């Protein structure tokens, strides 16, 4: 085991022993932080990117579908095998059958048609969404949601011939969950230290924290530029920006909201001094003897400082627009519950819960006067690894995506600061798509997939990129489509670099910084860097 791994494991375990465990997971490299080369940018106007990570590998073939007759014929041939379990959805216009078994497509009804502008590349094609995405479909039709087709990690434009060539450049460790999550979010396999969200944050962090003391400004820039109420992710980590992890409904603070332990402010201050090894002036009183102690001390100090800075000013539960009025227990708030398309029950939506926290943190910037103009958030929904029980499990997950995105859209539209939908762009990511073929009752790991972008600055009611051509396998299992390899897996036609460039450009990251952050961008035609789904 490497010394680096020993150090990382020790710090993670040590952090878990303190009352600040949730807040202390804010980054372990403060002693080695270097200043990013921040670009010169105006300090007015708030913007945020919110990444919804669909962990496990979302089945894109049943999320957004080509429904023209040629495509539908190939789709049903592969996903509705004669005598086997169907994982094909029902055609558009089919009414849902509430009496049907929840594991069958009849229960869900037909796919939901979506409009598009008829770009030349999609001439003659029609598209639809999964029946569980009814509210997302409505937002797409209203112009606040766009679809990006067949996107995935690429080191260069890749053809089917390239796939078959042992010498052609390809992304590392395809089809591996952990590695592809990391490649999607950082362009490197598992173990990467920085992601493209955090690196963009490095270039924009100078826009945050104006009007505060130097120490508070530095804290705001480094910790509150990238935030998650979910699991930590490499996507949020930069060279200077360190992701800040909150709890699901609160900012973790030593002593809680009262700032006391057992009712004693002196006890709280004493414990804080011990945890951070600080004196009354907030400066370190000891010189750490090793890197373990130095990092642990820095983490504790910054966790305490961050909690003190925003913990008591977090916009409260129980008030509109993010809560039902008076619902101070988020877990019981009907606004955060969705209806299962499988059994009709009402359940708490963990993705909506995370997005509620994001909305509250965005508003806290206003309440606390943090002076933040650029932020990156990440939320996560798991269990998309649908190797079996495809119809029911995938419908359940997409129903949560549908409810959460619609909830977030409504909340942003009625924020205390006014309609913020044009200032916040939400997009989906997932480590890979899945196979076109069925493995009996599910699908296996793939490559390219389709994704959703939501916001008032999104040029919606459109399908961007190039939607793949569907085909059927011959007796040797070979697909005739230039877009499909074994098991009908998609070769991406749009790279994550291009996806990230388009989002980063909207955030205000300069072209030169984007070219530096996105390692494969130069392999693509510069006229295709910006995919066109964001307004200027």
Q: Residue 272: its pLDDT value, please? A: 64
More confident site: 250 or 379 = 379
Region of 109 (left: φ > 0; alpha: ψ -120 to 50; beta: rest) is left
d(CA 262, CA 271): 12
Across the range 395-405, mean pLDDT stands at 98
Residues 215 and 298 in one domain: no
Q: What's the full length of the chain, in residues? A: 536
Q: Is residue 363 assigned to a domain?
A: yes
Closest CA to 11 of 254, 304, 296: 296
Q: Is residue 27 assigned to a domain?
A: no
Residue showing tokens 């216009």:
93
- Percent of the chain's residues with pLDDT above 70: 83
More confident site: 274 or 279 = 274
Residues 57 and 199 in one domain: yes
Taking the CA of residue 35 as centre, how many other CA atoms within 13 Å lie in the half-sphere pointing to its CB? 5
Domain range enclosing 284: 3-22+251-313
d(CA 456, CA 74): 35
Residues 263 and 216 in one domain: no
Residues 334 and 393 in one domain: yes
Structural element, H or E, at residue 332: none
Looking at the predicted structure, is the pLDDT value of residue 2 above 80? no
Looking at the predicted structure, is the pLDDT value of residue 284 above 80? no
> How many other C-beta atoms lie within 10 A of the C-beta of residue 482?
14
Buried (b) or exposed (e) across 150-163, using 16+ Cβ within 10 A? bbbbbbebbeeebe
Angle at 389 between CA 474 and CA 77, to 5 degrees: 25
pLDDT digits (tens, 9 = 90+) for 159-170: 999 999 999 999
Q: What is the DSSP letter of 126?
A: -
Q: Is residue 39 assigned to a domain?
A: no
Q: Residue 131: its pLDDT value, please? A: 98
**Which residue among 313, 334, 356 closes a domain?**
313
Q: What is the mean pLDDT of the chain?
A: 88
d(CA 48, CA 366): 14
Residues 242 and 259 in one domain: no
More confident site: 288 or 153 = 153
Q: Is residue 166 assigned to a domain?
A: yes
Q: Residue 252: its pLDDT value, please? A: 73
Across the range 180-195, mean pLDDT stands at 97
DSSP 397-425: HHHHHHHHHHHHHHHHHTBTTB--TTTEE
Looking at the predicted structure, is the pLDDT value of residue 283 above 80? no
Looking at the predicted structure, is the pLDDT value of residue 308 above 80? no
Q: Is residue 36 assigned to a domain?
A: no
Domain count, the chain: 2
Q: Which of 5-9, 201-205, 226-230 has the lowest mean pLDDT?
A: 5-9
Kindly indicate the confidence band of residue 281, based on its pLDDT and cuts at 50, 70 and 90: very low
The phi, psi pair for 258, rounded to 5°, reads -85, -15
Q: Residue 340: its pLDDT value, please? A: 98
Looking at the predicted structure, is the pLDDT value of residue 277 above 70? no
Residues 220 and 353 in one domain: yes
Q: Residue 83: its pLDDT value, please? A: 77
Q: Residue 287: its pLDDT value, please? A: 54
**Which residue among 313, 335, 364 closes a domain?**
313
Q: Is residue 401 assigned to a domain?
A: yes
Residues 107 and 210 in one domain: yes
d(CA 472, CA 507): 41
Q: Residue 96: its pLDDT value, please? A: 97
Q: Residue 439: its pLDDT value, please? A: 93
Q: Residue 27: its pLDDT value, please? A: 36
The DSSP bridge pattern shows strands 47-54 and 424-429 to be parallel
Q: Is residue 106 helix, strand or coil?
A: helix
Residues 268 and 386 in one domain: no
Looking at the predicted structure, is the pLDDT value of residue 89 above 80? yes
Kindly indicate the confidence band of residue 298, based on its pLDDT and cuts at 50, 70 and 90: low
pLDDT digits (tens, 9 = 90+) for 6-32: 444 434 433 433 333 333 333 333 333
Residues 148 and 286 in one domain: no
d(CA 264, CA 60): 54
Q: Residue 11: its pLDDT value, please? A: 40
Q: What is the DSSP letter of 144?
A: S
> How many other C-beta atoms lie within 10 A of the C-beta of residue 287?
9
Contacts of 105 (CB under 8 A, 6+ apart): 86, 87, 88, 89, 90, 391
Looking at the predicted structure, is the pLDDT value of residue 391 above 90? yes
Q: Is residue 38 assigned to a domain?
A: no
Residues 142 and 97 in one domain: yes
Contacts of 350 (CB under 8 A, 6+ apart): 381, 400
Q: Is 405 exposed, middle or buried (0-12, 13-18, 19+ CB in 10 A)?
A: buried
Residue showing tokens 């005598």:
83
**Which residue among 293, 313, 333 closes a domain?**
313
Residues 202 and 291 in one domain: no
- Prior bond to 94 cis, omega within 30? no
Q: Is residue 35 assigned to a domain?
A: no
Looking at the predicted structure, is the pLDDT value of residue 451 above 50? yes
Residues 11 and 133 in one domain: no
């Amino acid at each position: 085991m490497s010394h680096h791994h020993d150090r990382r494991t020790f710090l993670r375990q040590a952090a878990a022993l303190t009352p600040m465990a949730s807040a202390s997971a804010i980054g372990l490299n403060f002693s080695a932080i270097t200043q990013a080369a921040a670009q010169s940018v105006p300090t007015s106007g708030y913007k945020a990117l919110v990444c919804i990570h669909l962990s496990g590998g979302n089945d894109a073939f049943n999320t957004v579908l080509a429904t023209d007759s040629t495509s539908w014929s190939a789709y049903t041939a592969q996903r509705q095998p004669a005598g086997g379990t169907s994982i094909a959805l029902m055609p558009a216009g089919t009414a849902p059958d509430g009496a049907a078994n929840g594991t069958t497509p009849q229960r869900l009804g037909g796919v939901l048609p979506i409009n598009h502008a008829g770009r030349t590349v999609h001439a003659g094609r029609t598209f639809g969404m999964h029946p569980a995405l009814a509210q997302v479909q409505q937002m797409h039709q209203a112009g606040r949601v766009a679809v990006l087709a067949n996107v995935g990690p690429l080191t260069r434009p890749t053809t089917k011939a390239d796939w078959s060539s042992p010498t052609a450049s390809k992304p590392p460790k395809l089809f591996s969950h952990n590695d592809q999550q990391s490649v999607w979010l950082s362009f490197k396999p598992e173990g990467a230290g920085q992601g493209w969200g955090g690196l963009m944050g490095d270039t924009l962090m100078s826009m945050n924290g104006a009007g505060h003391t130097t120490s508070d400004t530095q804290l705001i820039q480094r910790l509150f530029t990238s935030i998650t109420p979910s699991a930590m992710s490499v996507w949020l980590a930069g060279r200077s920006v360190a992701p800040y992890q909150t709890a699901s409904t609160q900012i973790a603070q030593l002593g809680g909201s009262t700032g006391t332990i057992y009712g004693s402010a002196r006890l709280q201050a004493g414990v804080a001094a011990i945890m951070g090894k600080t004196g009354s002036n907030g400066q370190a009183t000891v010189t750490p003897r090793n890197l373990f102690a130095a990092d642990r001390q820095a983490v504790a100090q910054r966790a305490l400082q961050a909690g003190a800075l925003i913990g008591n000013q977090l916009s409260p539960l129980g008030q509109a627009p993010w809560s039902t009025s008076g619902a101070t227990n988020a877990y019981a708030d009907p606004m955060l519950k969705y209806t299962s398309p499988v059994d009709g029950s009402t359940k708490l939506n963990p993705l909506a819960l995370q997005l509620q926290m994001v909305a509250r943190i965005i508003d806290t910037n206003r309440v606390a006067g943090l002076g933040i103009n650029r932020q990156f958030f990440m939320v996560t929904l798991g269990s998309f690894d649908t190797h079996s029980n495809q119809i029911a499990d995938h419908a359940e997950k997409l129903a949560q995506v549908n409810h959460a995105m619609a909830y977030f859209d409504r909340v942003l539209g009625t924020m205390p600061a006014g309609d913020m939908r044009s200032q916040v762009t939400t997009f989906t990511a997932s480590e890979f798509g899945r196979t076109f073929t069925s493995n009996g009752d599910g699908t296996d790991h793939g490559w390219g997939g389709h994704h959703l972008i939501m916001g008032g600055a999104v040029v919606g009611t459109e399908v961007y990129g190039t939607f793949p051509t569907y085909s059927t396998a011959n007796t040797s299992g070979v697909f005739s489509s230039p877009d499909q390899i074994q098991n009908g897996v998609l070769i991406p036609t749009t790279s994550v670099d291009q996806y990230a460039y388009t989002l980063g450009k909207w955030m205000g990251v300069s072209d030169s910084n984007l070219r530096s952050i996105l390692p494969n961008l130069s392999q693509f035609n510069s006229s295709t860097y910006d995919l066109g789904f964001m307004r200027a």
